[in-house]
Amino acid sequence: MRRRQRSAWIAGTLLAIGLACLPLLLQIGLGRSWVRIADLALLYTLLALGLNIVVGYAGLLDLGYIAFYAVGAYVYALLDSPQFGLHWPLWAVLPLGAASAALFGVLLGAPTLRLRGDYLAIVTLGFGEIIRIFLNNLNAPVNITNGPQGISLIDPLHFGTISLAAPHRLAGLTLSPPLQYYYLFLACVLVVVFIALRLQDSRIGRAWAAIREDELAAAASGIPVRNVKLLAFAMGATFGGLAGGLFAGFQGFISPESFNLMESVMVLCMIVLGGMGHVPGVILGAVLLTVLPEALRMLGDWQLNHLGRVVADPDDLRMLLFGLALIAMMLFRPAGMLPSPRHRREWRKDARP
Amino acid sequence: MTALLALNALTVAYGKLHAVQDVSLQVAQGERVCLIGANGAGKSTLLKTVGGLLQPRSGSIHFASQSIGSLPGHAIVARGLALVPEGRGIFNRLSVLENLELGAWLRRDRAAVRQEIATICERFPRLGERRNQPAGQLSGGEQQLLAIQRALLSRPRLLLLDEPSMGLAPMMVEAVFSSLLDAHRGGITLLLVEQNAQLALTHTDRGYVMESGRITMENTSAALHDDPQVRAAYLGVGSL
């Protein structure tokens, strides 16, 4: 027992050192743009972990999840930009964004959660589009969101007077902005991972698993099905809203186009690809699906250098390979790359003795 | 004597179809009561309504002298009324142990729950041996036993059972009913719906016969068992 504890400590320490050094290695080895990609991967990890609560834990298919990301991002953008001349502190804006997203989660969930399966998926898909179209049109009669132009000059993430968009020197090292964002996002991811893992083993987590399996039997076991589902929606939305706020402060510019249906589908793909309901799988999925498309962009340069011209547009190629990868996954590893033991059971063909 | 469960003029409808019509029925504390009838007579609908999974159109349901007709299913479990649904309602992909734990979801006395689960695993070795396997891998009879034990873990006063013998081998039927009699000896009141009238009438004190949504007969189980009409219609014997 003690030995296992010690090896867990060693593994944890190594992982921490690795995660801390990773962006430095990326910056030296591949350049600063890759640190930015790592930042994005962390943001998507936050999103995927949030959606995993709804889809993976509670089994509710949500195709409009990106709307909560949008809510968090717009709350940040409106309260921290020249749009209204507001410059609220980070500690107020981020929680407010997360809370607003949770509120929207409940607003969406309350009337729709009696729907099941496909019907719920369609309604959530509609909800995601409604939010996006609202953001697109809320520039008249009163200009709130600036419409399709989006909001620019958003204040970067900042602690008091320390802005993460400016480099800082720490112990003889110069920390570039992407590096600073990396450490902030990493801290957020670690907190969310901790919460997600604790939730899974909690009373609520078991209630979610029961609802995913059989709603009637869950109700017959005394589980308040509606409230527990609403809680899943609200928790997932909270994480989405947090990620949205971080995204707005990181990017400095947001527009409704950043929150289209494709993004929702992308986050869902991360979960499915990685392993639904399993935190390590979800993280793997999010990192892979952020990094791979970026890596494929390099195929364009490669074509220019070796073939003299771009034969296949890397963007098309990206989607093509992406589709092929998903089909291959469904054929060979339908439960995901790192499935949870329980989901592996679900996919084992007819496990009856 | 006030009844533990009392239905008064209960009507349940799916749209225009009245599945249960004007049904009144009582179950006293400590009684074993059965509800027999043909397929589609409305027995399951009645039981689901009492369990809070369906809402009545009209009429009242009182449990321990309190009206529960408008409460949702989970609140009814909290009052001490547990339903073992038709088709068992096992969480197939969760382990046997997780299924049992979910039965005690409303309870806060974790140590006692753990103790009771250990006792169940001892009394039903097949469940104990497979505690970490998915419940879907159990045989039908074992699943029924699991469903009953899961429902009992919510510490109900009244247990509702919907077709506990359905699709089971004769030996398992015996095991299931003997576990029900054990529960009854432990002080739990039983209301069970059965198509197998012979089985139901020999294991209960009192019975109701349901036909096309209405109660047509009510008597002690022994009397129903000897009733020529019941024998002809539900026991498959008697004069033709």
Confidence of residue B18 (pLDDT cuts 50, 70, 90): confident
Taking 60 as the threshold, does the pLDDT of residue B239 lie above it? Answer: no
Q: Kindly state the DSSP code that residue A54 receives in the 8-state scheme.
A: I
A/B interface, count of CB pairs below 8 Å: 77
Q: How many helices (H) and strands (E) does chain B have?
A: 10, 10
Could you give the angle at which helices A90-112 and A117-137 cross, rounded to 10 degrees?
Answer: 130
Q: Taking the complete model, does pTM exceed 0.95, yes or no? A: no
Instruction: Name the residue type at position A258.
Output: S
Domain boundaries along the sequence of chain A: 30-160+174-260
According to the model, what pLDDT value does residue B30 have?
Answer: 93
Please compute the mean of the pLDDT values over residues B105-133 and round it to a whole number.
92
pLDDT of residue A143: 86
Provide mean pLDDT across the span B141-165. 94
Q: What pLDDT is stored for residue A352 in this prediction?
A: 42
* A219 touching chain B per CB within 8 A: yes
Please name the member of A207, A220, A345 whose beta carbon is closest to the beta carbon of B85: A220
Grouping H, G, I as helix, E, B as strand and the rest as coil, residue A118 is helix
Interface of B with A in 63-102 (CB under 8 A): 72-75, 77-78, 82-85, 89-94, 98, 101-102
More confident residue, B1 or A116: A116
Nearest alpha-carbon partner for A283 in A230, A340, A344: A340
- Identify all chain B residues contacting A226, using CB atoms and an 8 Å cutoff: 72
Question: Are A222 and B52 inside 8 Å of each other by CB?
Answer: no
Alpha-carbon distance of A49 to A267, in angstroms, equals 9
Q: Is B103 on the interface with A (CB under 8 A)?
A: yes
Cβ distance of A224 and B74 shorter than 8 Å: yes
Count CA atoms closer than 13 A to B5's CA, side-chain side: 30
Count CB neighbours of A301 within 10 A.
11
Element containing residue B210 per DSSP (H, E): strand B206-211
Quick one: closest CA in A to B79, which residue?
A222
**A331 touching B (Cβ < 8 Å):** no
What per-residue confidence (pLDDT) applies to A353? Answer: 38
**ipTM score:** 0.87
What number is the average pLDDT over the span B34-50? 91
Query: Are A220 and B98 in contact (CB < 8 Å)?
Result: no
Tokens read off for A248: 């707005």
- Taking a C-beta distance cutoff of 8 angstroms, is the pair A238, A50 a contact? yes
Taking chain A (353 residues) in runs of 10, the rounded mean pLDDT of each run is: 76 84 82 88 96 94 94 95 87 94 92 83 92 90 87 88 80 82 93 94 93 91 93 95 95 92 90 89 91 79 78 76 81 82 57 41
Quote the minimal CA–CA distance from A256 to chain B in Å.
40
B179 min Cα distance to partner chain A (Å): 19
> If you ran DSSP here, which 8-state letter would residue A164 be given?
T
B115, with CB counted inside 10 A (0-12, 13-18, 19+), is exposed
Q: Give the DSSP letter string of B74-102.
A: HHHHHHTEEEE-TTTT--TTSBHHHHHHH
Q: How many residues belong to chain B?
A: 240
Cβ-nearest to B74 among A203, A222, A346: A222
Q: B180: burial class by Cβ within 10 Å (0-12, 13-18, 19+)?
A: buried
The continuous run of DSSP H or E covering B226 comes out as helix B221-226
Residues B41 and B33: their CA atoms lie apart, in Å, by 17
Chain A nearest CA to B88, separation (Å) = 8
- Predicted local confidence at residue A6, as pLDDT: 82
Lowest mean pLDDT among A128-137, A339-348, B2-11, B147-156: A339-348
- Check if B142 contacts A (Cβ < 8 Å): no
**Cα angle for residues A123, A124, A126 (degrees, 5° grid):** 65
Which of B68, B91, B117, B129 would you mutate first to test chain A, the one with the most A CBs within 10 A? Answer: B91
Phi/psi class of residue B143: alpha, beta or left (left: φ > 0; alpha: ψ in -120 to 50)? alpha
Q: What is the pLDDT of residue A347?
A: 54
Per-residue CA distances from B70 to B52, B63, B73, B82, B84 (Å): 8, 12, 9, 16, 20
| Among the partner residues B72, B105, B134, nearest to A345 by beta-carbon distance | B134
A268 and A55 Cβ atoms separated by less than 8 Å? yes
How high is the pLDDT of residue A65?
94
Q: Of A69, A125, A78, nearest to A98 (Cα)?
A: A69
**Would you say residue B26 has pLDDT above 90?**
yes
Strand, coil or helix: B110: helix
> What's the pLDDT at A351?
43
Chain A residues inside the 8 Å CB shell of B103: 221
